[in-house]
């Protein structure tokens, strides 16, 4: 294929997924500017290899390139950060109704959104990436497995753990204390 054909094919197949690419890079880097750098480098790489793309799922292909570029970028630019990618049991522990347009309702939604974003950002990267790809980008387990280069079972396991960690992070901490209620005695001394 010629350069013009590859460019047209790139624009047709990859460019529609630019938002998904940025979204993944943003959640992995935790920084808007770094995510832009990663996406730009990813697009350059994907343009370079567009001639070798033979699949039918350009979105998964592009997100895989973004993921690899992101980890290379993090390794080079933030080597002191501990990026845990294994799925061992203790690896995640080391990381950390009114009307819709009323002001108090908008403030509550903003607070909820911030709490969710903070909980998602606090997830270990291995869990965060599968959760972002599944819940925010709506990719299939098979596509996520291909992007992350892990088995489908690992995708499901990490997704389950990520959802559990999110649930824990989003549960209000002020749970009521339950106490035992003594049985009342009925007439005649029966219990």
Given a contact cutoff of 8 angstroms between Cβ atoms, the answer to whether 73 and 38 are in contact is yes
Using CA atoms, how far apart are residues 113 and 119, in angstroms rounded to an integer? 10
Phi and psi for 103 in degrees, rounded to 5?
-55, -45
The structure's pTM equals 0.57
CA atoms within 13 A on the CB side of 107: 3
pLDDT tens readout for residues 71-104? 898 888 877 654 545 445 444 344 343 344 456 5
Give pLDDT, residue 140.
Answer: 92
Phi and psi for 123 in degrees, rounded to 5?
-65, 145
Given a contact cutoff of 8 angstroms between Cβ atoms, the answer to whether 84 and 158 are in contact is no
Give pLDDT, residue 76.
Answer: 87
Q: At what angle do helices 58-77 and 141-148 cross, to 10 degrees?
A: 40
Q: State in Å, rounded, how far the first CA of the chain is from the last one.
A: 87
């Amino acid at each position: 294929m010629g350069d013009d054909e590859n460019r047209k094919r790139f624009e047709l197949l990859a460019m529609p997924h630019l938002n998904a690419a940025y979204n993944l890079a943003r959640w992995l880097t935790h920084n808007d500017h770094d995510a832009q750098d990663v996406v730009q480098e990813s697009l350059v790489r994907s343009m370079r290899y567009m001639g070798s793309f033979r699949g039918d799922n350009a979105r998964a292909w592009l997100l895989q390139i973004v993921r690899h570029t992101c980890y290379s970028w993090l390794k080079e630019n933030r080597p002191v950060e501990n990026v845990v990618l294994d799925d061992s049991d203790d690896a995640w522990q080391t990381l950390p109704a009114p009307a819709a347009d009323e002001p108090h309702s908008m403030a509550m939604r903003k607070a909820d959104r911030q709490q969710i974003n903070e909980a998602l950002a606090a997830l270990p990267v291995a869990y965060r990436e599968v959760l972002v790809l599944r819940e925010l980008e709506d990719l299939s387990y098979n596509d996520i497995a291909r992007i992350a280069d892990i088995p489908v079972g690992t995708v499901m396991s990490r997704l389950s753990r990520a959802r559990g960690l999110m649930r824990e992070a989003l549960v209000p901490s002020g749970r009521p204390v339950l106490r035992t209620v003594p049985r009342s005695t009925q007439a005649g001394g029966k219990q």
